Amino acid sequence: MFKVGRRFFLEGRARSPNGPLGPFHTDPRIYATWPRSGLRITWIGHATAILEIDGVRILVDPMRDKRASPTSWIGPKRFFPPPLELSDLPSIDAVIVSHDHYDHLGAGTIRVMAGLAAVERARWIVPLGGGALLRRLGVPAAHCLELNWMDSTRVGPVEVTALPARHFSGRSLFKRFATLWASFGLAGPLHRVYCGADSGEWEGFCEIGQRFGPFDLAMLEIGAYDPLWAEIHMGPEGAVRSFRALGNHGLLMPIHWGLFDLALHHWRQPIEKIWPVKGLKLWSPTPGVPSEVIAGEELRSEWWR
């Protein structure tokens, strides 16, 4: 706290935008037709995304709460409203929750989703221990599936594997490491996607790429980083190195940035650092816009400018 406090109060970086961003809007009618490419992603913001992969629709880290916090009146506030209302969610086959931190699992979000017809048949896939919280928030126990690292399950033709990550868990200062955290590999008949969630750099990325790749797209965090906590958040430079360790194949999708003030850097700094890296194929869409992933084709939306 002594190291962080001085910087938090005295440094003048714009950790949040001057005003609300957007508005961003998702037209739910697009989900009436599956993507021609077989792979389409709607980045809702931060780590939340709808993945449509080889005929399966998966929602990752659902979080549309106003704040990434245990309360509704204090804590990191969203930079822009969710582009898609929960009532407009298309039919979801599976919900993946990477870990229980507030910016990845919104309690209010889960409570509403638990009663929606769009997810009534969905499987909720969480790392070990994560099912208890989901059940308390209204998700039927029969729909919760807990996976240890290296465990797999199938959602239609897509194999979902929980993979190691270098992070931690806990929704309070006094109860940490009680549940597991994970990244996920998705392997369909035609496409492979790596959902990196939260992680610091570690030597396992090379093996993940070799055993579960090559990935058409790797979702890696670039924001909420700092040298003080580099072991649990890789940052933009770490994302580049991790992407190359995964095999340097396909496209890199930056996530975990542009929605919450969770660190000490300027809110645009993560994307501005990774944007000019030579030899890197970025796939960075506008929030809320369902976008097809085409092999080898970059997508560089400049909404953040």
Sign of the dihedral through C-alpha 214, 123, 143, 26: positive
Q: Over 90: is that where the pLDDT of 118 sits?
A: yes
Q: What is the pLDDT of residue 174?
A: 82
Cα 21 from Cα 43, distance rounded (Å) = 15
Chain segment 190-205, per-residue pLDDT in tens: 999 999 999 999 999 9
Q: What is the pLDDT of residue 12?
A: 61
Cα 229 from Cα 246, distance rounded (Å) = 22
Closest CA to 115 of 83, 135, 139: 139
What are the b/e assignments for 199-232, b being 16+ CB within 10 Å? bbbbebbeebbeebbebbbbbbbbbbbeeeeeeb
Q: What is the pLDDT of residue 283?
A: 98
Neighbours of 44 (CB within 10 A): 23
Average pLDDT rounded to a whole number, residues 151-171 = 97
Closest CA to 92 of 117, 64, 119: 119
Cα 273 from Cα 237, distance rounded (Å) = 8
Domains of the chain: 2-292 (3.60.15.10)
Chain segment 287-305, per-residue pLDDT in tens: 999 999 999 999 999 999 9
Q: Over 80: is that where the pLDDT of 6 sits?
A: no
Please state, in angstroms and as integers, the Cα–Cα distance from residue 18 to each residue in 75, 79, 266, 277, following that order.
17, 10, 12, 27
Average pLDDT rounded to a whole number, residues 181-195 = 98
Structure tokens at 209: 């790429």
Average pLDDT rounded to a whole number, residues 31-56 = 98
Structure tokens at 206: 């090379």
Q: Over 80: is that where the pLDDT of 5 sits?
A: no
Q: What is the pLDDT of residue 175?
A: 82
Chain segment 240-286, per-residue pLDDT in tens: 999 999 999 999 999 999 999 999 999 999 999 999 999 999 999 99
Q: What is the pTM of this model?
A: 0.96
